[in-house]
Amino acid sequence: MQQVNLGMIGGGTVGSGVYHALEQNGDLMASRLGLQINILRIAVKALNEPRPYAIPESLMTTDWAAVVKDPKVDVVIELAGGTTVARAMVLSALESGKPVITANKALLSAYGEELFEAARKNKANLYYEASVAGGIPIIKSLREGFIGNRITHLYGIVNGTCNYILTRMKLEGAEFETVLDEAQRLGYAEADPSLDVDGYDSLHKIGILASLAHGFWVNPRDIYVEGIRQVTQADIRFANQLGYTIKLLGIIKRIPDRVGANNNGSHVQVSVYPVLVPHSHVLANVNNVFNAVFVRGDLVGDTLFYGRGAGKDATASAVLSDIADAALDLKFDTKCRVPPFVPHEKQGAVLPIDAAVSRYYVRMHVVDQPGVLASVAALFAENHIGISSVFQPEGHEGQGVPLVVMTHEAPNAAMHSALAKIRQLPVSLAEPRMIRVEDFE
């Protein structure tokens, strides 16, 4: 049987997970592919670093360049993480014309355009299934399964840590800080948890999906991001009473061309922020560390992917799928059968967040006296924002009351201008809090 030799860089949680997964299911893959997969060398940071699965010392080296340059290595797998040395690793492997596999979302977010171009120039391929939503095969689905569709909407719960925190806050009434500490202890959160809770991990992943789905490179700087630090127990409770669950969603929406407008190309909303999701929607029921990606294509309609977005075994599952593709490319000499990314939408652009339209939940804390509701309503009206419902639980005298307003659709710019005025009202006792509402229409 023909043999494909792998050179892996990274022997930590993910790297040793891939080694273990190949030990476990390598023969199964060989019989499915008609190819023997062999890990030839693994570059590690230190031979004795702690790892969940043992790797034989005979396979390990601390010299990554030697792995990339080894003529017997057919496929290079970058699982080192980071964006500086990892960029050099991937570029040098692509420049030698070898197929490369990476799980590195931060690297692709920062340098994807350069790396995809390097793959094209060197007639190599770059596979990155494990970079987004762990074991869920969303990259392959966008690259191949949905190739005949225009993707109109994509909504993703792509950060397990945030989903875990929001789930526990809702189901147990837990406070944000307590649950974050626990997520860190359980090993879900990134080393720097602000990447999770401030939305940047989701931003990296959503940028990759948006680029792939819409055929133009989405610069991470153009993606609007809000994390979950500001979501309070009160918001979760009020949203629940109104029939909604709060989730951190990555949102990619193609904005339909306006009739008669002079459009120069497609505009796409690409953003990450907390959202009120109706209880009846399937994404409201994706709990704990699970990820889910909801994709709507113009031909296929609505589809849903659900699974583990992190963890050594789920991530290894995605890397094994990339290994199979890279190995088959070599077997049939079709190195670029499915290119990693094709910039086919030359006029594509990200919609500025101010122009994005949605419904809103607004929670204020106001003095409980006659005329307050009217003055708040007047500020929404002034900004052409329609109110769809108002909710005001009774408060204790002298402490003010929460006032929750649900609105009809309006542009973000209008909502920001209304909030700026509400903030200045003498009857407003605390910073008003706004969370967007999604109806998935």
Looking at the annotation, which residues are catalytic? 205
Identity of the amino acid at 220: P
Cα distance between residue 123 and residue 342, in whole Å: 13
Cα distance between residue 308 and residue 23, in whole Å: 21
Stretch that binds ligand HSE, among 112-120, 189-197, 316-324, 429-437 (CB under 6 A): 189-197
Q: Which is nearer to ligand HSE, 199 or 297 (CB)?
A: 199
Using CB under 6 A as the binding rule, whether residue 190 contacts ligand HSE is answered as yes
Minimum separation from the CB atom of position 288 to ligand HSE (A): 11
Q: Are 183 and 189 in contact (CB under 8 A)?
A: yes
Using CB under 6 A as the binding rule, whether residue 207 contacts ligand HSE is answered as no
Cα separation of the two ends of the chain: 51
191 contact partners, CB below 8 Å, separation of at least 6: none
| Angle (CA) 174 176 179, round 5° | 70
Using CB under 6 A as the binding rule, whether residue 201 contacts ligand HSE is answered as yes
Minimum separation from the CB atom of position 197 to ligand HSE (A): 10
Stretch that binds ligand HSE, among 60-68, 153-161, 235-243, 366-374 (CB under 6 A): 153-161
Question: Which of residues 74, 78, 129, 196 is near ligand HSE by CB under 6 A?
Answer: 196
Residue 242, SS3? Answer: helix
Looking at residue 72, the DSSP 8-state letter turns out to be: T
Minimum separation from the CB atom of position 309 to ligand HSE (A): 5
Stretch that binds ligand HSE, among 156-164, 334-342, 349-357, 372-380 (CB under 6 A): 156-164
164 contact partners, CB below 8 Å, separation of at least 6: 179, 183, 188, 288, 289
Using CB under 6 A as the binding rule, whether residue 310 contacts ligand HSE is answered as yes
Pairing type for strands 290-297 and 151-157 reads antiparallel
The residue behind tokens 């497609």 is 266
Q: Which is nearer to ligand HSE, 146 or 188 (CB)?
A: 188
Q: Which is nearer to ligand HSE, 201 or 325 (CB)?
A: 201
Question: Which of residues 37, 68, 77, 189 is near ligand HSE by CB under 6 A?
Answer: 189
Q: Which is nearer to ligand HSE, 160 or 348 (CB)?
A: 160
Cα distance between residue 24 and residue 312, in whole Å: 14
User: How remote is the C-alpha of 435 from its chain's centroid?
Assistant: 19
In this structure, the number of other CB atoms found within 10 A of the CB of residue 431 comes to 12
Listing DSSP states for 32-49 in one string gives HHTSEEEEEEEE-S-TT-
Minimum separation from the CB atom of position 240 to ligand HSE (A): 23
In this structure, the number of other CB atoms found within 10 A of the CB of residue 339 comes to 13
Instruction: Dihedral sign for Cα 289, 194, 283, 168, please.
Output: positive
Question: Which of residues 109, 125, 161, 271 is near ligand HSE by CB under 6 A?
Answer: 161
Q: Which is nearer to ligand HSE, 250 or 309 (CB)?
A: 309
Minimum separation from the CB atom of position 19 to ligand HSE (A): 19
Stretch that binds ligand HSE, among 144-152, 186-194, 272-280, 386-394 (CB under 6 A): 186-194
Tokens of 352: 């500025």
Minimum separation from the CB atom of position 310 to ligand HSE (A): 3
Question: Which of residues 19, 53, 128, 188 is near ligand HSE by CB under 6 A?
Answer: 188
Size of the residue set binding ligand HSE (CB under 6 A): 10
Stretch that binds ligand HSE, among 19-27, 63-71, 188-196, 255-263 (CB under 6 A): 188-196
Residues that bind ligand HSE (CB under 6 A): 159-161, 188-190, 196, 201, 309-310
